Each structure stands twice: as structure tokens, then as C-alpha cells.
Structure 1
Amino acid sequence: MRKIILLVFLYSVPFTCFAQEIKDRDSIAVDTLQNIKFNYKQVVIPAVLIGYGFWGMESGQIKNFNHQIRDKITDIDQKTTIDDFSRWAPAASVYALNAFGVEGKNNLKDRSVIFVTSYVIMGGTVFGLKSVTHMERPDGTSNNSFPSGHTAAAFAGAEFLYQEYKDKSIWYGIAGYAVATGTGLFRMYNNRHWLTDVAAGAGIGIMSTKIAYWIYPYVNRTLFGGKESKSTSFIAPSYNGKQLSLCFVKIF
């Protein structure tokens, strides 16, 4: 009998890399962007999660706890691939909700730039840390365990979903974070990551999206001169745990 039952609400299709051509006839002026302002309180939770992850790399007590958690939830004979899909669900839901007429905080162009900026920050941070920490995975297959890229992507999307739809209903954000949490748990269940990897990945994902919102005015001025652009192209990194790839996004 399983000791732990995980319930994850998944309501989108998976994607690893996409090329998108979107027409936004009703886009509003950039000056009306509803951005979030920096507040030190917003960084407390992600900073604690990231700090816990780094602390666990040196603390023998936390390392022992990592092994205890792994032994309790890992079933080596039965694995699942749901985490490969669920990591994209929160971010994809932002566009799915808009497609069904539930408008978010920002227009299509603004939120797309924020989304890509977030994933550039997240992907670069995750890839950089994996390259320098060389932490062995629980299953011993490689030395790129820290931090969890799947979890980082899921939480970056969850924060994106929360920021865009928190004024509509707090439950959109709760659902996104539930899916992201489930993604992290499944990474441990599949014996691919330690608890500290997942915690750090969650913190990096949340922080990346917050930073993307904070710096959007600067990104907008740099890329578009503070004016709306009819056609925009982006290149964003994607990391699947083994290799780094680039995703092309084009917005019309």
C-alpha cells in the first residue's frame, strides 16, 4: 500500500519548445501595463527556499533528511512521466484561460514578453547552477541534480498564472501552485531529485517571474523603445535535465 498519495490537477498539453504566431487585435497601450512593484516582502519565501537548497549542500543533517524523504516516497519499480508535462501546465493555462475569454491582467504582448523574460532568467540560473554544483542525482545517473529544472519551470509558471489572474480569483493561483508542488513531489517520487533540489528550484522559479515583472518597463524600453511593436521575436532557453535547447517565440 502506498504511504503517500499525490493529487495533481493537470489541465493543459505538454510542450518543450514552441514557435508561436499570435495576433492580438485588442492589445492595449504599453503605458497601461499593470506591473507589480518591488517589495522586499515578496522575496522572503523564494529566498528561504533557495537558501534551504544551498544549505542542504553543506549540512549533514539536511542531507540525512534528504535520504529519509527519498526512502519514504520513492518507488523505484513504478515511475511516472507526469512531471514532464505538469511543469508547463501553469504557464500554458494563462494562454488557455485567455483563449476561453478569461482576460488576465496584461495584454498578450506584455505578458508574453514577461513570460519569456522569466524563463530566460530561470533557465539561465538553473543551467548555470547545475554546471557549477555537480550534485549527484538520487538515482546516480548524472551529476546535475541541483537545482530541479522541472520544478523551477513549474513554479515560474505558477507565479505567472498568479500574477495575471489574482485579481480575478485567488483560486487560479492556488491551482497553479498546486500543480507546481505536485511537479516537485513527482521529481522526488521518480528518484530524480532531492528535497533540497526541489526547494531551490521552486524558489528560483518564483523569483524569476517576480524579477521579470519588475524589470519589464526596462525590457520594453530596450526592445521596443517604449512603444507597441506589431511583430516581435524571442529566443528562450529550455532545459530538460540533460541538455539545453533554445525555443523560438514570435508574436504578431
Structure 2
Amino acid sequence: MRPFVGLIFLWLFSAPLQAQTDTIAFADTVMPATSLYRLNKTYLLSYFTDLPKVAVSPVHFTAKNWRNTALVAAGAGALLLADKKVFELMNANRSKISNDVAGVVEPFGNKYPPLIIGSMYLAGVLTKNRKMEHASLMTAKSLVFSTIFYTATKQVVRRRRPRFTEDPFDANSPFEGGREYTSFPSGHSNTVFTVATALALEFRDTKWVPPLVYTIATLTAVSRLYENKHWSSDVYVGAAIGHFVTKALYKVEEKKARPKLYKLD
């Protein structure tokens, strides 16, 4: 099944890339081929230089950015209050079909992303398609960065998973407790939304790509609720971290491409 998934995604994203292999677009910025990443020293060093920039990106937030941040925080707060109701709703509406769907999409949150990224990179190298090669490396870097942020959050917010308690406010002290106290935020949701956001940005000119990847990401996130692995607010915040960390990284790359015209919006 895993090789099949990799081939499907490789086929889906290869067609849009064939048309333009020498440039990549960031909003109103077109980067030349020399700006596209390859697996070399420059790319590896960019992990160390870009991570701090992503971490401090809120310093450059505009009023619109802060408004969006407030809306995300409000949504997380609302779900926190509704966590138990959502938990009960999920457990009261189980069926064979929903079981099957959850089983199909769940691996997109942990097993499939490395396969998808690796397949894209290998195809880019073998076909000399620089844009596909760059897309795979950017997705990989986005995933590493978002994983750092969500795992650090898990260590501080030691929330108990719903399969061990019916109290959504059951938590331990920071850095204390075992794996059952790693509910917040959802790692699967973070991972799948990181990859979905990166692919949506890389292939924004192909209209069907963003709806496809975000649909898969949403179903994967919901599957974590269905399987009692996370509370709804865990899933929401995990998805938000993956999405916004990835967008922040792409803004960093855009700034490097056109520093004088760069504007964070």
C-alpha cells in the first residue's frame, strides 16, 4: 500500500511541474533556477539560519496577522470548552464506513509523508526536474521545523489523551508523565497539515491541488478524534502549527529571494 501511495502522489504532482522546471513562484515573486534548493551544503545550512527566523516571525506580524492569530486562539479556546461534547459525539457515531475511512487516511499523518517527500525528491533528481526537487526539499524542511515546535509544546503542555481519561482538563506538570500525557497538540495533524500546506504553496497554480491536499489533511485530523487519540482542540492546534509554521518558512524564503520588495502579510 505505501509504495502505491507514493506513486499516486508522484503522478499527481509530476504533471504540473513539467510545464515549468526553471522557476518557482512565491506570491508576486518569481525565483530563478539558481534559487531552487538542491541537497547540498547550502540547503543543509539553511536549516540553522531559517529556524530562528521562523521562530521570531511574530515580531514582524502586521495587524492582519495578529487578527488572524486572535481568531485561531479563539477557535482553540472554543474547542477546548467543547472537547468533551465532541468526544461523546465521535463515540456515539461509529460505523464500518467511518472505521474504514479512518484506517485509510490515518497513515497520512505519520507513515506516508516521508514516502511522498522521498518519491518527489528521487523523481526530481532522476528526471532533472529542479522544481520537483526543490518542492520535496522545502516540504522536508517545513516538516522538520513544525515537528520541532509541536514536540516542544507537547513537553510543556502535558495533557492526557482521551483514551485514558474523560476529563479534557486532565494534565500533568511540564515534562512529567509518560506517553499518555502527550495529547496536546496532535502530531498527526501537525504533520499532515505541514505537508498539505507546503504542497498547496508549491502547486498553487494547479487549482485542484490545494483542495485535494487539504481534504486529505482534514480527514486525517478527524480520524485522530474518531480513534480517541486526541481531543478536538489538540487536533485544531496541531493543524494550526503545521500550517502557519510552513507559511512562515515560505515567507522567509520569499524574503531571501526578493529582500527589498519583501512584505510580510
Provide TM-score, normalisation by structure 2.
0.56
> Which segments of 5 or more consecutive residues in structure 2 lack a partner in the other structure?
8-20, 23-32, 38-59, 165-178, 258-265
Over alpha carbons, which structure has the higher Rg?
Answer: 2
Aligned to 1:121: 145
1:201 partnered with 2:221: no
Pick which of 115-124 and 61-70 moved more: 61-70
Change (3 A) 1:87 1:47: farther
Return the offset for 1:148. Answer: 0.6
Q: Structure 1 residue 53 and structure 2 residue 76: aligned?
A: yes
Partner of 1:67: 87
Alpha-carbon distance in structure 1 between the residues aligned to 2:105 and 2:249: 24
Change (3 A) 1:173 1:108: same
Q: Which has the higher contact order (CA 8 A, sep 6+)?
A: 1
1:13-69 CA distance string (max 9 Å, x none): 49xxxxxxxxxxx7621189xxxxx98557866764455335655xxx324333333
Q: Which of residues 153, 158, 170 in structure 1 aligns to 2:191?
A: 153
Structure 1 regions of 5+ residues with no counterpart? 1-10, 15-25, 33-37, 221-252
- 1: CA distance, partners of 2:106 / 2:66: 27
> Aligned letter for 1:185?
V
What SS does structure 2 have at the residue aligned with 1:12? helix
Counterparts in 2 of 1:149 and 1:74: CA distance versus 1, 3 Å:
farther
Structure 2 residue matching 1:145: 3-state secondary structure: coil
Using a 3 Å threshold, how does the CA distance of structure 1 residues 82 and 185 change in structure 2: closer, same or farther? same
Aligned length: 188
| 1:123-170 per-position Cα deviation (integer Å, ceiling 9, x unaligned) | 011111111111111111711011110011111111111111111x22
Matches within 5 A, 1:173-184: 173-184=210-221
CA contact (8 A) 1:48 1:203 kept: no
Between 1:157-166 and 1:114-123, the stretch displaced more is 114-123
Letter in 2 for 1:199: Y
Alignment correspondent of 1:12: 5
Match of 2:28 in 1: none
- CA gap of 1:31–1:138, structure 2 versus 1, over 3 A, is closer
Q: In the TM superposition, what is the alpha-carbon distance from 1:98 to its structure 2 partner?
A: 9.8
Note the alpha carbon deviations across 1:171-222, whole angstroms, 9 max, x for none.
Answer: 11100000000101111111101111111111111112101211226789xx
Task: Compute the RMSD of aligned alpha carbons.
Answer: 4.2
Letter of the 1:68 counterpart? E
Mapped partners of 1:191, 1:74: distance in 2: 12
Note closer, same or farther for the CA distance 1:97–1:112 as it changes in structure 2 (3 Å cut): closer
Percent of matched pairs sharing the same residue: 22
Please say if residues 13 and 85 of structure 1, whose CA atoms lie closer than 8 Å, have aligned partners that are also in contact: no
Distance 1:46 1:215 in 2: 19
For the residues of structure 2 that align with 1:90 and 1:44, how far apart are their CA atoms?
31
8 Å contact from structure 1 (residues 133, 146) kept in 2: yes
* Residue of structure 1 in register with 2:175 after alignment: none
Separation in 1 of the partners of 2:109 and 2:220?
6
With the length of structure 1 as denominator, give the TM-score of the two structures.
0.59
What letter corresponds to residue 35 of structure 2 in structure 1? V
> Which segment is superposed worse, 42-51 or 193-202?
42-51
Answer yes or no: is the 8 Å Cα contact 2:154–2:183 preserved in 1.
yes
Question: Residue 73 and residue 94 in structure 1: after superposition, are their counterparts in 2 closer, same or farther (change >3 A)?
Answer: farther
Q: 2:135 aligns with which of 86, 111, 133?
A: 111
State the alpha-carbon separation in 2 of the partners of residues 150 and 139 from structure 1.
16
What is the identity, as a one-letter code, of the residue corresponding to 1:193?
H
